[in-house]
Amino acid sequence: MRLLNKYKCLILFTLSAFSISGYAQSSKFKVVLDAGHGGKDIGATHHGFAEKEIALSVTLKVGKILEKNSGIAVIYTRDTDVFVELNERAHIASKNNASIFVSIHCNANDNYAAEGYETYVMGMHRNASNLEVAKKENQVVTLEKDYKIKYNGYDPKSPESALGISLLQEEYLDNSIALASRVQNGMATNFGRKDRRVKMAGFLVLRQISMPRILIEMGFISNKREGGYMNSEDGQNEIASGIANAIISYKNEFYGSGKSEPQSEKYVPKTANVQEQILEKQSAPEEKTTQNEPFATQQGIVFKVQIAASGKNLDLTPQNFKGLTNLSVSNDSGTLYKYMYGNAVTYSDAKQNLAEAKAKGFDGAYIVAFKDGKKINVQEAVK
């Protein structure tokens, strides 16, 4: 009997260890890194620089930094010079149940003086230049067999087709913007390049991905000076460091951070040919909030569940939100409406509200926290 009990304990210990290990693995923050172009798709080429080579090199450097963090799992759509179809890149992200999708590219323009870095989220084209960037990146589909069938008659030369793929659900738009903003700030380097800000456009590679997703244009390969920077070891290390640190910052904000997880240090160029120039970063505008009851009257810590974000101003009625009540909305500078459910004073109640929102079909819902009416980090609020 004593021996039998020993075996029972051993089995229980083994199952417990397996369960803990399985949980740790499934709870990892999964990042899909997508190196633009590849193989027969060279991308933009100018001054002897090839987009597919620079994109792959920077992507691998970003991945190498992220892989040092025990809480992050990195998945590559390609880690060699191969051609990967756009819908396959989306499939890779979906089958791995990724947390975020980051596509890395170089920009190009007929005007060789054009310069600067910009980060895109999926959405309506705000102007003609955004449309042109999307059309150039989407041109790769012509290298795929039966692309018009696979992409529902998409024609990369047609503005109507480019606009059509932008009219998608906006469930992850807010998180995509949060990630894009961090990346954009992270790419402000010592090289003194132009900040072209976060923008919206319709990219085919982003259209079938149901998670926060962004597309990075690291700089203009058509600009000889900037192309040389992106093609250099120092330039690539500096850009990769900025992108990786932005991803880690986003992960820590929305998924929490472990004390044992190493934090990446910002890369400092070793050579003297990189100009030292401090770039001023504009602080984010203060978020204005309106709701069923005056937000300003709520004191202390309050947890809410963000269920959607949209450019549309919807009435806070249950029929607009799948029957949910106790709704509120915040308006960030008048451009994006963030709709929230619940009003919990404890984190456990907030988690219950989150489960209710997801049961109603808001799969991308997540918890946000406020202190005396101002948004704060959820981890800070829990502490």
Same domain as 292, residue 244: no
Nearest alpha-carbon partner for 117 in 232, 9, 196? 196
Same domain, 243 and 300: no
> Is the same domain home to 224 and 320?
no
- Nearest C-alpha neighbor of 102 from the set 206, 207, 184, 253: 206
Query: pTM score, two decimals?
Result: 0.62
Residue 7 lies in a domain: no
Residue 147 belongs to domain with CATH number:
3.40.630.40
Q: Is residue 5 part of a domain?
A: no
pLDDT per residue over 40-79, tens digit each?
Answer: 999 999 999 999 999 999 999 999 999 999 999 999 999 9
With respect to residue 21, please indicate whether it lies within any of the assigned structural domains: no
Residue 52 lies in a domain: yes
| Residues spanned by the domain of 145 | 28-255
Q: Is residue 176 part of a domain?
A: yes
DSSP at 261: S
Note whether 61 and 129 are same-domain residues. Answer: yes
- Walk along the chain (383 residues) and give the pLDDT tens digit of each residue: 444 444 344 433 333 333 333 333 347 899 999 999 999 999 999 999 999 999 999 999 999 999 999 999 999 999 999 999 888 888 899 889 899 999 999 999 999 999 999 998 876 544 455 445 455 555 554 555 554 544 454 455 554 444 333 434 456 777 888 899 999 999 987 678 899 998 877 666 666 677 888 999 999 999 999 999 999 999 999 999 999 999 999 998 887 765 545 555 666 665 434 333 222 233 333 333 334 443 434 678 899 998 887 767 788 888 888 889 899 988 765 667 888 999 998 888 998 998 898 888 777 678 888 888 888 877 777 77
Please indicate, yes or no, if residue 130 is contained in any of the structural domains: yes
d(CA 64, CA 368): 30
366-371, strands of its sheet edge to edge: 288-291, 327-332, 336-344, 301-310, 366-371, 374-376
Number of domains into which the chain is organized: 2
270 inside domain: no
Alpha helices in 222-367 (DSSP H): 224-231, 233-255, 347-359
Tokens coding 138: 């989407």
Looking at the structure, tell me whether residues 66 and 126 fall in a common domain: yes
